[in-house]
Amino acid sequence: MKQIQLFIFALLALTACQPKLNFPAVTENNKNLNSLTTLEIGENKIYLQDFILNPADIDSVTSSSKALVISVSDDKLNATLTAKPELEQLVNVQIWAKGVAYSLPCRKTDKIDYTFTFDTQGKTYKRIQIAGQMNDWTPANTPDLQLNDKGLYEVLLNLSPGTYLYQIVLDGDQNHDANNPNKVDNGFGKYNSILQIAGKNDSFPALLTEDFSKVKIILSAQNNVNEVFAYWQNYRLPAKYVKIENGKITIDIPTEAKEPNRSFIRIWASNEYGVSNDVLIPLQKGHVLTDSKAISRTDKHAQIIYFMLVDRFKNGNRQNDKPLNRPDVNPKVDYWGGDLAGLQQKIDDDYFETLGVNTLWISPLNQNPTQPYGYYAPMKTKFSGYHGYWPVSSSKVDFRFGTNEEFKNLVADAHKNNINILLDYVAHHVHNEHPFYKQHPEWTTPLYLPDGTLNTERWDDQRLTTWFDTFMPTLDLSNPEVCRMMTDSALFWLKEFDLDGFRHDACKHVTEEFWRELTLKMKKKFKEKTFYQIGETYGSPKLIAGYLTTGMLDGQFDFNVYDIANTAFAGVGGSDFNRVQSVLNASFYTYGNHNLMGYVSGNHDKPRFMAYASGDLKFGEDAKAAGWERKIGITDSTAYDKFFLFHAFNLTIPGIPVLYYGDEIGLTGGNDPDCRRMMRFDGWNNRETKLWNNIATLTHLRKNNPVLIYGDFINLKTTADTWVYARKYFCKEALVFINNSAESRTFEVELPKALKADKLRATFDNKFRKTGPKISIALPAYSVEVILN
């Protein structure tokens, strides 16, 4: 141990010569971090304008790997990267522009062949298919299952290790796999089965931050390391900047890092088995950031998002209340009076500051129709556009929410209070009353398919053309004129109201061309400002990740983690933290350990967590019908404790925590529209107050401790109903203990050598004991403790 300490001290003492890259520190191509790209064996297309703002500046695209063949199109807009089977696990691609080499880290796919089998149990079917996250819920994307010589039906899948939700399709009837006991509720009266594919992740290198000086960073490495890839912004640091010795990796911070206020060091390592976790280190004027006071609202990883439906949040001005008040519109789906004035009041009285959130995601504000549309036959009701997703204008705030001037003032006041504003933007469709559609019906996709069937709610097989309803025309964003019009509309909202970014609706139903054109315009129009864009996509990690590049979105909501964690913490559907850990690990692999994905407590399209946790909503029942047919309450108050565990999970893992309005006090309800009840700000009972206070404690803990924002993630011990994991950011450490059992639990965990666990303090005052490398703590039923140094 003394030798290691002397070695580290010697390294830190070498501060006399801080190396220089001799590349420009601040350029338009070095502002946004280039994403890690996964290369499949064979041809891979990359869009060079994702990384180089002006493709005409590109000189060449190169790589040192002989197993990667690169060709660039004549217009320099894209490149084809052909990966041979012998490709190294991690390679660096250099995009040369005006003599400067901008780097793109690329890893080899980890997909393996897996034979999926199904037993018909003696029954006869003409056609057997699989639908799930492995094929984006589209059976046609995978060959039909065929009978093998063992009497089972099988299909060969090529998938990354991880967890996949799926259903079996038997002669067109789709439901869970009766042979598989592992399943989760899908919220629509059925279940999704769970497929687990094992990998070799335990052999991958593992990196942890260990120490730093003014000019050096030291990491510890577990497992064999063949090569280290270290980047400052989009420059790969030359070999002389990186030293590997005795399980330690030393990185020199380049002199150029002193110029920008905020920049980042990113590090990966590889061996013959795969690629390590990523390490992300923020720099403040070239020095490792350690003081939370240096973190501002423009630091994307530090966001804690709060989402509200404006109409259901707070009524601040009854003069603009204009409910339809019609007998053919059920009050549950009419306007309830929430508005910008009410939201302004909660900003002014420091509700969000006290709660600890720093980013507000606001539901769409566009003018919506004044008449009802749609029809829900069981309740014989039409719907108002209270939610904001039926735009009839692309520039005017709905008069029932307020005015354009009110929204401008609200954003300005939010910024004064260090709060970001993200607007929910709808690019996929307009309402049929929108002037765009009236003047140019040819700008939309066909309502009827060539076979004469209606093209509505065809979420998967007609993903880019389907209409959400017959009165909501889908815009044909493959038409350059339509794409230009809608991206310009989005820019209008950004500029007119000084927004900080967007939540994008229905991302997978919108062409990639739209996302690329919008993000490119944002980069060119607002060169001095960065934005955060987060999307909504239900589907496989591969589909979701397809929109996450430097040239498109920053993040998406991780519904795959939400779906499995929601049932686990609620205690329904055979809940098991081991499954949650597996899905979370798959997300870390796909999106990175320091991703900008949104980890939600709930949303406006899901049943409320409290309804399941309290047992008032039954596992497997139709949650939408339940919300209409009966009053869902909270009969088991332990649901509040369970919900806090879910919040604690979201607030202590990497990524962006997203709090759905009302979840801070435990509002309940079935699926839409019952999950959209009015927010309450007074009359809270003791349970609601305690939940609110506990959440606020953890949001502020996260804001004040960079280890919970930028720290490495270390899984320590997982059982079906307990979980222990750690975050580590150099000498700062956080240990998270979760007891999701109805009984008290005593945890005894042996800490790895990388965790020193000195001078620890408990956030919620549970007593613990540390003896050498072991730490023990007793937790009551449904409780959590976060211990930090």
DSSP codes of every residue in 470-515:
TTBPBB-TTSHHHHHHHHHHHHHHHHHHT--EEEESSGGGS-HHHH
- Among candidates 560, 565, 564, 563, which has minimal Cα distance to 545? 560
582: pLDDT strictly greater than 70 = yes
- Per-residue confidence at 741, pLDDT binned at 50, 70, 90? very high
Mean pLDDT computed over 518-536: 96
pLDDT at 14: 47
- Helices 686-704 and 638-652: angle between axes, nearest 10 degrees: 10
Cβ contacts of residue 591 below 8 Å, gap of 6+? 541, 544, 545, 548, 555, 558, 597
Mean pLDDT computed over 402-408: 98
pLDDT at 8: 55
Mean pLDDT computed over 380-400: 98
**What percentage of the chain exceeds 90 in pLDDT?**
92
Tens of pLDDT, residue by residue over 3-52, are: 555 555 555 554 446 789 999 999 999 999 999 999 999 999 999 999 99
pLDDT at 619: 86
Number of Cβ within a 10 Å radius of residue 699: 23
- Per-residue confidence at 163, pLDDT binned at 50, 70, 90? confident
Mean pLDDT computed over 407-417: 98
- Per-residue confidence at 200, pLDDT binned at 50, 70, 90? confident
Mean pLDDT computed over 715-732: 98
361: pLDDT strictly greater than 80 = yes
Tens of pLDDT, residue by residue over 42-80, are: 999 999 999 999 999 999 999 989 999 999 999 999 999
Cβ contacts of residue 356 below 8 Å, gap of 6+? 304, 695, 696, 698, 699, 700, 702, 703
Average pLDDT in the chain: 95
Cα gap 350→216, rounded to integer Å: 40
188: pLDDT strictly greater than 80 = no
CA 9 vs CA 244, 671, 725: distances in Å: 16, 58, 29
**What percentage of the chain exceeds 70 in pLDDT?**
98
pLDDT at 608: 98
Residue 648 amino acid letter: A
CB 65 within 8 A of CB 106: no
pLDDT at 183: 87
pLDDT at 15: 45
CB 70 within 8 A of CB 93: yes
pLDDT at 129: 98
CA 126 vs CA 121, 145, 170, 172, 584: distances in Å: 14, 11, 8, 10, 37
pLDDT at 189: 81
628: pLDDT strictly greater than 90 = yes
529: pLDDT strictly greater than 60 = yes
Residue 168 amino acid letter: I
279: pLDDT strictly greater than 80 = yes
Residue 523 amino acid letter: K
pLDDT at 185: 79
pLDDT at 184: 82
